[in-house]
Structure 1
Amino acid sequence: MKKLLIFFVGFATLVQAQKKDISLEDIWKKGTFRADYMNSLNSMNGDFYSLLNYYEGGSTVDKYSYETLEKVATIVDSKDLNGIQYIESYSFNNDETKLILGTNFKPIFRHSFLGTFYVYDIATKTLSLIGEDIQEPTFSPDSKKIAYAKQNNLYIKDFSNDETVFQITNSGKKNEIINGITDWVYEEEFGFVKAFEWSTDSKNLAYLRFDESKVKTFSMDVYGKGKYPTQEVFKYPKAGEDNAKVTLHIFSLVTNKTAEIMVGEYEYIPRINWTKNADLLAVRTLNRHQNDLKLYFVSASTFDSTLILNETDKAYVDVNDDLTFLEDNSFIWTSEKDGFNHIYHYDKSGKLINQVTKGNWEVTSYYGYNAAKKTIYYQSVENGSINRGVYSISLTGGNKKLLSNTTGTNNAAFSKNLNYFINTFSDVNTPPVYTLRNSDGKVLKTIKDNAALKETIAGYNLSKKEFSIISINGNDLNMYMIKPSNFDATKKYPVLMHQYSGPGSQQVANRWNGANDYWHQMLAQDGYIIVCVDGRGTGFKGRDFKKVTYMNLVKYETEDQIAVAKELAQLPYVDAKRIGIWGWSFGGHMSTNCILKGNDVFAAAIAVAPVTTWRFYDTIYTERYMRTPEENPTGYDDNSPLNYPELLQGNYLLVHGTGDDNVHVQNSYRMIEALVQANKQFEWAMYPDKNHGIYGGNTRLHLYTKMTNFIKNNL
C-alpha cells in the first residue's frame, strides 16, 4: 500500500512537471495564447450580414445568412478590381446596390486616416474612383452622391451628374481651419472623426467647422532612419488653454448655400444627428465644465433651434451614442440622473414618457430598439458589477428578459432588423465563445468555441484568478488575486499590484485573459502574487462611486491603492517588504504617486507612459474631471508627482515612447528632471518614435523583458 501511494505522488509530480511555463516569447512573439476571433461583421438588410475576408494575394466581401451562418454570395473580390489588391474597408449604400471600397490607408491619429476610395456598383461590377488621400467618404441616403473630406475641406461627388465634384468649403488649412473632420482633442476624447451628416432626404449636409488658429501647437521630433529628424507639429489644447472654436453649418444642395447655425452658448458640440424628420437636426452642446448638456432640434429650412432637453450634473455629464429616434421622433436616451446609468424614453418635445430601466445597477451598452416588437435590447451589470448580461425589455419597462449567460462577460452584435444576435461570451475560465441566438436569446448555433486554445492553455502552468471584495476606506472594492500554482500559505511571497484606476474604467472583470494577464501568470510562476483592485472613481457601481474623485483626480485613487497594499501586508503569506505596483497611462500616474506617497509600503513601481501633471493633458478629458488649472490649482498640484520627487525611497522604472501624441513624453522628461534635481536614483527607458501603445516589431517583447527583469531584481 505504501509503494502504491508513492507511485501516485510521483505520477502527480510528473504530470505537474510536464506543464509548460509561460514565456515572454509566448505572449509577445509566438502568439501562443491568441484567441480565435470573429471578423467584425456588418449587418445587412434582411437576415444577412457581410464579412471582409482575406486570402493570399487578395480579399473578398462576402454575404452570409444569419439563419444558417453559411456564405450565400461573394459580393466583390479584389482580384476582379483593377488597382486594388487588398480591400481595407467597405460600406454599403442604403439599398445595398453599391459599395465604397477603401485601400492604401495612411494613419493620422488614433482613429483617423487618409485613404484611396472607390465606388463599386454590384450589378455592373464597375469601379469608379472617389479620390486619393481623402477621409470619411459617405453615401447620401438616396445613393446619388458621396460627401468626403480632403485637406481640411468638404466635397460632394455627384454620381447622378457625370460624377461632378462640388467643393462646398474653401477655408480649410492645416493647423488653422478644419471642415467636416474633428480636431485632435475631439477625436481622442469625444471618440469620432467624421463631423458631417447627411439629412435623411439627401437635401442637406450638416457639418462642424473647427477654427484652431488660436490653439497652441505641440511638436514631436520623429527620428526615423534619416540623417536629420523631422518634426510633427499639431494643435493640442492643454488644460486651461484655448480650444478650437467650433461652429455648426448646414449646406443646402437645393440652394447651394451654407448657413451658420446658432445654438446658444457652448464650448463643445460633441454630437450631431439627423432625426426621423428630414428637416430636423439634433445637436448636442456642452459648456466648458461639461456639466451642462443641451439637446437642440434645428430646422434645416428656417435655421431655428429649439431646446429639447437639458441635463446637468454637479460633476460632469458623459456623452454617448445611445440617442435613438423612433418613427414619431420620440427618442431613447441614457442618463445617470437617478444615480445609475439607465434608459429613458422622451417624446419629440423633450417631455419624459418613462424611465425604461431602473435599479442599483448600470446599463453598460444600448443595442437598439425593435419597433415591431416595441422592445429595447441592452447590456447591463444586473448580475454583479464584474459581469455583463444581454437583456431585452419593453419600451414601457416591462417583460424584462435575460438573453445570454447569467455570469461572465456577454456582448451582443445584433442584426440590423434585431431578429438575431451573435453573443460573445467569456469568463475567467472560458475563452471567447460565439453563439448565434434569436431575439429571444435561444441559442441556434455555436460558431466558435476556442476549443483549441483551451487545449493549449491546459498544457501550461496557470494559476486561478480569485475574485473577492476588499473593504477599503469605507467602500467594498472589487479585487482579484493570482497566487503561484504551488502556493504554500506557510511561506511569504512578494506582491505586484496592477491597476488603471481612470474614471469609469474597470480592470476587475469576469472575462477571458488579455496579454497582461498572461504576463501576470508568468510572474506568478516565478513566485509572485498578483493583485488588482478597482478603487474609487472606477466604473459600473453608480454615479457617486465614479464621480467622488471629481476635482481631485488620483487623490482618492492613490489613497485606496496604498490602503490595499497595507491590508495585503497584514496577510501571513505576504512579504510586507516586497510589495510593488505598476500601471500604464493613468495607471502610470497612479503607480508613480503610490511609490512616492506610499513610500512606507511600496518597494517598487513601474510607470509606463504616465501623466505626471494634469496641466500637460488635454482640455476635454482633464477639465471634465478637474475644471481648469486656474479654477482648481490645488487639485492639479497636490497630486502631481512633479511636486514631491524627494519622497522616492523605493525602486522606480519610468517608460515612455517619444512619439506619444496622447500623453506627451514631456510628462516623463519633467519627472526625470524632478527626480534628478532631488538626487534620486531610478531607472528609465525611452522608445524612439513609439506612440502611446509602445508597440511595433520587437518593441513589446523588449518592454516586457525590461519590466520583468526590473521586478525580479527589485521586488
Structure 2
Amino acid sequence: MMNIQATLLAAALFCAAGVQAQNEYAEIARLNSLNERVYGIRSMADGEHYTVREGNDIRRYAYATAGEGVSLLPTPAPNLVITDYGFSPDERMILIASGRHPIYRHSYTTQYQLVADGRVQPVLTEAEAPRDASFSPDGSRIVYSDRNDLYVYDIQSRKTRRLTDDGAWNSVINGTTDWVYEEEFGTTRAYAFSPDGTQLAFLRFDESEVPLMEMMRFDGKLYNTAYSFKYPKAGEKNSVVELWVADLASGAKRRIDTGGETDQYIPRIGYTPDGRLWYYRLNRRQNTFEVVLCEPHGAQRVIYEERSQQYVERVDDATITFVDKDRFLVRQESHTGYMHLYLYSIRRGFLAQVTKGPWEVTAVVGTDGKRVWYLSTETSPLRRNLYSVRLDGKEKRRLTTGEGYYTVAPSRGMKYCITTFSNATTPNRVEICDGEGTPVRTLADSRALREELAATRRPVKEFFTFTTERGDTLNAYIVKPRDFDPSKRYPVLLTQYSGPGSQQVADRWSLDWEDALVDKGYIVVSADGRGTGFRGERFKKQTYGRLGALEVEDQLSLARHMAAQPWIDPARIGIYGWSYGGFMATSCALKGLGLFRMAIAVAPVTSWRYYDTIYTEIYNNLPQYNAAGYDENSPIHFARMLDDGKTRLLLIHGTADDNVHFQNTIEMARALNRAGKQYDMMIYPDQNHSMMPDDTHNVRQKMIDYTLEHL
C-alpha cells in the first residue's frame, strides 16, 4: 500500500497532467475565436445599408462609408437574447426572436418581441410555443406556427386568427416541416406569402403512419423518460404531404392538387413575382424533379423537369431563381455532368446555357435581371471565387482575386457584397466590395490571429494528389509538425468525412482537434475519395447504390500510400470520422485487417437501414430494391473482421442523437460482443448529434487523449 505522502504526490501529478491535457483543445478553441467574422448580415431595401447583430444589439451600417453604425433598438436596450430578427417590408418594424428552445437541429421555439415606434414590446404572447414567425408582404400581419398549427396576428388590432386546427404532435403538422424535411431539405418554414400578402400557401404533413422513434432521456432525473418522435428510416413510410392555400383575410382554405402520387416530396413552395403559385415535386427515388406552376384559373403545368439514372442532386432554395415574371435560372448538373446555370422562360422553355466548362457553380449569389453573380470552382475544385455573367452567357467577369475560398453576402440589387476570404495560410478577411468586385473597405482582417500564427510558425495544410492502385487520382492535404524531419518516422492520423457530394480538402483556413496532435509530433492527412463533390457528376455518383464500398477502398489506399513514405511509421496509422465519417472510420478499422493501429468513430452510422429516407434513398435506392447495397457494406455484418490485437477502436455517441440514433452504436457493440472483440466506448448522456454546446470541448479533448495514448 502506498504511503500518504506518495499518494498525495501522485494525486498532485495526476491533477497537473489533467489540467495540461485539458488545455490542448482549449488552445485550439482560443485560436479559432480570433478568426474574425461578421454575424447576422442583412441587406436593407435600398441596397446602400446593411445590418448586423452585435451581441444583443442590431446595428445599421452604410456599405460605402465607414462609421460606428446606428443602433436600431431603443436606448436603453431591453434585456434581449437575440436569436434572429427580420424587418417588416417598409423596415419600420423589427421582429426579434428572443431566446431559443431547440426542437431538433434547426428548429426551435422562442419568444417574440416587436420593435416599433421606438418601443420593444412582446407579441404573440397567447402562443404556447411560437416559432417560424414572419411579416406578411404588406407588413400588417405576422404569421407563425404554434404546436403544429398556423396562426395570423394582426399588428394593428392585436388580434389573432387560427388558420388551421388539426395540428397534433406526431400526427399532423401545418406550416412547418417534419423531422426528415428539416434535416435533409434544410428548412423548417413550410409556408409562403403571395406577393400582395393576401394568400398564404402552406404544406400539411400527415405523419400519422410514419414509424415512431423513442429516444431515451435521462436529464439527471430519478426516472428516465422516452422522447417520442416520427422518424422515417430507409424504406419506411414518409409523411403524406399536401399543399394548401389560405386567404389571410377570411381564413378560407383550399387544397392544391399535387398529382395522384402521394409517396413523393414537395421540398419547396413559393410565388412568382407576378403572384402565381409554384412548387417543387420530387419522386420518392429522387431521380425525377419537376417545378410545377399553378395558373390563376386552376390549371397546372410543369415549367422545368430534370431526370437522372441515379439521382437529381438534392434541391434547395438556389435550385430555381426567378428573375422576373417570365424568366428563371436553374442550377443543375444533368446536361453536361457539371453543375451549371441555365436560363428558362415560363412561356418559351429553355433560353440559354449561362455558364459552361469542366468546373462547377457552387452558389447563386444574386441577380439584377441583367447579370447573375455566382461562386464557382473554375480556378480549382479546392477554391471558390465570385464571378458575374450576363444572362445570355456573355461577358463573364471574375470579381475576386484571392487564391482561396470566398463566401459572399450580397446587397439588394447587387450594388455591393460582403466577402469573407481565407486560404490554408490566411485566416478570415472580411471586405465590402462593389458589384464589380472592387474593394470598398475592410471590416475585419483577423490581424491578431495572423500575427500570432506568423510568430509561432504554426503548421499549415499542404495540398497534394495521389493515385490509388486502381488509377483514381484523389485530392488530399497534409499537415506536418513545425519541426518536421524527413529522416524521422512519424505517426499519422487520417481525418475524413467521405459522404456523397461532400468536401474536406478545401483551400480555406481552419483548425480543429487534430491540429493539437500536430503540436505533439503527429502528421494529419485528409483525402476526398470517390463520391465526394465538386469534381463533376461522374466522380460523385460512382458510389451510388453501394455506400461504403469505394469510399473505404480509397481510405485504405491512402493509408497504404502514407505507410510507404519513408518518414511515416507504418505501424502507427490511425483514422477518425464523425457521422458519415464515423461510418467510414468503423468500416476501415474492420476492413483494414490491422492496417490501422487506432480508429475513432463519432456518432457513426453502422447500418444504412437505420438512417432516414431522404438522405439514404437518394444515394442508395430503397432497401426493398437494393438490399445488398444496405447490408454488404454495413460494419455490423463484418464485426468479426476487427483485428483487436492490432487495432484499438473507440466508439463515441450521444444518447439523445435524434439524427444518427444511438441505436447505431448499440447494434455495433452487440455485433462486436458476439464476435468476441474488444473495443472502447465513450457515451455522452442526453447529447445530440453535434454534442453542442455542452460537450463540444470534452469530446475533442477525449479524442486528443485517446490518440496520444493509442497511436
Same fold (TM over 0.5): yes
Deviation at 1:466, TM superposition (A): 1.1
Paired position in structure 1 for 2:659 = 662
Alpha-carbon distance between aligned partners in 2 of 1:173 and 1:247, rounded to the nearest angstrom: 16
Whether the 8 Å contact between 1:33 and 1:453 is mirrored in structure 2 is: no
Q: Which amino acid aligns with 1:144?
A: S
| Amino acid corresponding to residue 533 of structure 2 in structure 1 | G
AA of the residue aligned to 2:481: P
CA offset at residue 369 of structure 1? Answer: 0.5
Shift of 1:641: 0.6
AA at the equivalent of 2:131 = Q
1:26 aligns with 2:26: yes
Q: Which residue pairs with 1:331 in the alignment? A: 328
Q: Does the aligned pair in 1 maintain the 2:598–2:710 contact within 8 Å?
A: yes
1:182-207 per-residue CA deviation (whole Å, 9 max, x = no partner) reads 00000000000000111001121100
2:672 to 660, 671, 675: 675
Q: Residue deviations 1:501-555, cap 9 Å, x none?
A: 01111111110113x2xx3232123222211000001110001111111101111
1:120 equivalent in structure 2:
115
**Conserved in 2, the CA contact under 8 Å of 1:642 and 1:670?**
yes
CA displacement, residues 47-100 of structure 1 (integer Å, 9 cap, x when unaligned) = 01112222xxxx32221111114245322137355xx53333221111112221
Q: By how many angstroms is 1:23 displaced? A: 4.7
SS at structure 2 position matched to 1:541: coil
Q: Which residue is equivalent to 1:211? A: 206
Ranges of 4+ aligned residues in structure 1 off by more than 4 Å: 20-23, 28-33
The one-letter amino acid paired with 2:615 is Y
Distance 1:340 1:105 in 2: 39
Compute the RMSD of aligned alpha carbons.
Answer: 1.9
Label 1:21 to 1:645 Cα distance change in 2 as closer, same or farther (>3 A). Answer: closer
Say if 1:293 and 1:311, in contact at 8 Å, map to a contact too.
yes
Q: Deviations over 1:575-627 (max 9, x none)?
A: 22221111000001001111111224222211011000000000010001111
Separation in 2, partners of 1:134, 1:705: 37
SS at match of 1:566: helix
Q: Which residue of 1 aligns with 2:165?
A: 170
Instruction: Report the alpha carbon displacement of residue 556 of structure 1 after superposing the two structures with TM.
Output: 0.5
Secondary structure in 1 matching 2:254: strand
Distance in 2 between residues matched to 1:508 and 1:363, nearest whole Å: 17
- 1:565 matched to 2:559: yes
- Which of 354, 357, 362 lines up with 1:356 in the alignment? 354
Three-state SS of the structure 2 residue aligned to 1:447 is strand
| Conservation of the 8 A alpha-carbon contact between 2:59 and 2:71 | yes
* 1:124 to 1:436, Cα distance in 2 relative to 1, 3 A: closer
Instruction: Determine the C-alpha separation between the residues in 2 that align with 1:339 and 1:191.
Output: 24
1:85 aligned to 2:80? yes
| Distance (whole Å) between structure 2 residues aligned to residue 701 and residue 61 of structure 1 | 30
Equivalent of 2:508 in 507, 511, 514: 511
Q: How many residues are paired up? A: 680
- Equivalent residue letter for 1:652: L
* Aligned counterpart, 1:533: 527
CA–CA distance in structure 2, aligned partners of residues 464 and 120 of structure 1: 46
User: 2:173 & 2:100 partners in 1: Cα distance?
Assistant: 20
Structure 1 residue aligned with 2:146: 150
Give 1:483 shift.
Answer: 1.7
Counterpart-to-counterpart distance in 2, 1:21 and 1:452? 25
Matched, 1:40 2:36: no
In 1: Cα distance, 2:350 partner to 2:32 partner: 52
Distance 1:91 1:604 in 2: 48
Alpha-carbon spacing, 1:313–1:111, altered in 2? closer, same or farther (3 Å): same
Question: How far, CA to CA, are the matches of 2:22 and 2:698 in structure 1?
Answer: 16
What are the ranges of 5 or more consecutive residues in structure 2 without an aligned counterpart?
1-19
Aligned to 1:248: 243
Per the alignment, residue 556 of structure 1 pairs with 550
Identical aligned pairs, as a percentage?
39
Partner Cα distance (2:460, 2:82) in 1: 42
Equivalent position to 1:342, from 334, 340, 343? 340
1:383 maps to which residue?
379
Pair 1:285 & 2:286 matched: no
Equivalent residues of 1:149, 1:180 under 8 A apart:
yes
Tell me the SS of whatever aligns to 2:703. Answer: helix
1:79 is paired with a residue of what secondary structure? Answer: coil
Residue 486 of structure 1 pairs with residue 483 of structure 2? yes
The letter for the 2-side match of 1:98 is M
Q: Secondary structure at the match of 1:520?
A: helix
Question: Once the 2 structures are TM-superposed, how far is the Cα of residue 409 of structure 1 from its aligned partner?
Answer: 0.4
In the superposition, relative to structure 1, how do residues 679 and 375 fare at CA in structure 2: closer, same or farther (>3 Å)?
same
CA gap of 1:488–1:126, structure 2 versus 1, over 3 A, is closer
Tell me, yes or no, if the aligned pair for 1:461 and 1:525 is still in contact at 8 Å. no
Query: Cα distance, 1:164 vs. partner?
Result: 2.5
Q: Tell me, yes or no, if structure 1 residue 522 matches structure 2 residue 516.
A: yes
Partners of 2:540 and 2:22 in 1: CA distance: 36
Match of 1:625 in 2: 619
Aligned partner of 1:257 in structure 2 is: 252
Aligned position for 1:12? none
Mapping for residues 351-500 of structure 1, pairs under 5 Å: 351-371=349-369, 374-460=370-456, 462-472=458-468, 473-500=470-497
Q: Provide the rounded CA distance (Å) in 1 between the counterparts of 2:71 and 2:699.
A: 43
In structure 2, relative to structure 1, the CA distance for the partners of 1:329 and 1:628 (3 Å cut) is same
CA contact (8 A) 1:53 1:61 kept: yes
Q: TM-score, normalised by structure 2?
A: 0.93
Which amino acid is 1:220 matched to? M
CA–CA distance in 1 between the matches of 2:562 and 2:421? 32
Tell me which of 134, 137, 153 is aligned to 1:141.
137
Q: Distance in 2 between matches of 1:429 and 1:354?
A: 39
Counterpart among 159, 174, 182 of residue 179 in structure 1: 174
- Is the Cα–Cα contact under 8 Å of residues 22 and 522 in structure 1 kept in the other structure? no
What is the CA deviation profile of residues 225-271 of structure 1, one whole-angstrom value per residue up to 9, with x for unaligned ones?
A: 22112221111000011001001001123553211111223510000
Which letter maps to 1:343?
Answer: L
